[in-house]
Homo-oligomer: A and B are copies of this chain.
């Protein structure tokens, strides 16, 4: 089971470059005049070194960053990983998410949760997320709805946690509140300080233990004789806001 099969996605490293490729017979990857024939990869063990190439099973961060088709701004893995644990999800939990977007967070949540219910009103995004899941064998426990969460018929006191990724989350606070069990965690992702300020104005009555946090990721060059950070980094993706349902 740790051998490459035809049709599987492979993470191919060539020096400092990374590629995510589907292993189709007769296909190949050309980099700087070197060729990796996929016929030679199929049947090889994960982690095979072939000439100057190394071929791996991709990790979840690599799948999302290199493999996901994006119709929206995706939630970065650095943020998604933090969110998934911060929501305190356990293996039997039911988690609510909207909007689905390209499905990056949903793919991460589904690894921790029992099931994820996700809502996306824009059909194009809904379909893209489904395609991303299918392509990489993710989201088996995801229940996708092509529906506006605000208008959807959602069960009450049902979810163990929720994550909200829409432009104006304050319109949905009451409905999210009702859908959650007592004390359940909720998270929000917002790119601008203006949005955070507006959310903080209204969140306090329904949710407590409120936190706002940014996650920054600093990569380093991996040459042992010249250890130093990369020249450039992602400076901002979004502010993450967390709270827990309170009862007066």
Q: Is B60 within 8 A of A208, CB to CB?
A: no
Taking a contact as CB atoms under 8 Å apart, the answer to whether A47 and B229 are in contact is no
Q: How many copies does the complex hold?
A: 4
How many residues of A are in contact with the other chain, CB < 8 A? Answer: 83
Which of A31-39, A118-126, A144-152, A220-228 forms part of the interface with chain B? A220-228
A11 contacts which chain B residues (CB < 8 A)?
A: 209
CB nearest neighbor in B for A205? B49
Name the interface residues of A199-235: CB closer than 8 Å to any CB of B. Answer: 200-201, 208-235
Is A209 a contact partner of B56 (Cβ separation < 8 A)?
Answer: yes
From B18, B47, B218, B229, contact of A183 by CB (8 A): B47
A82 to B54, CA, bound (A): 24
Look across to chain B and name the residue whose beta carbon is closest to the beta carbon of A4: B183
A112 at the interface (CB under 8 A from B): yes
Say yes or no: A197 contacts B224, CB within 8 Å: yes
Which of B77, B209, B218 contacts A216 (CB under 8 A)?
A: B218
Which among B54, B108, B194 is the interface contact of A225 at CB below 8 angstroms? B194
**What are 16 sample pairs from A and B whose C-beta atoms fall under 8 A apart?**
A45-B182, A47-B208, A48-B247, A54-B246, A60-B85, A78-B82, A194-B197, A196-B220, A197-B197, A197-B224, A215-B215, A220-B239, A229-B236, A231-B234, A231-B236, A232-B232
Residues of A within 8 A of B (CB): 2-3, 11, 13, 18, 45-49, 54, 56-61, 77-78, 80-82, 84-91, 108, 111-112, 181-185, 191-194, 196-198, 200-201, 208-236, 239, 242, 244-248
A-B contacts besides A56-B244, A89-B111, 11 pairs, CB < 8 Å: A45-B182, A45-B183, A47-B184, A193-B227, A194-B197, A194-B227, A200-B222, A213-B219, A216-B216, A216-B217, A218-B235
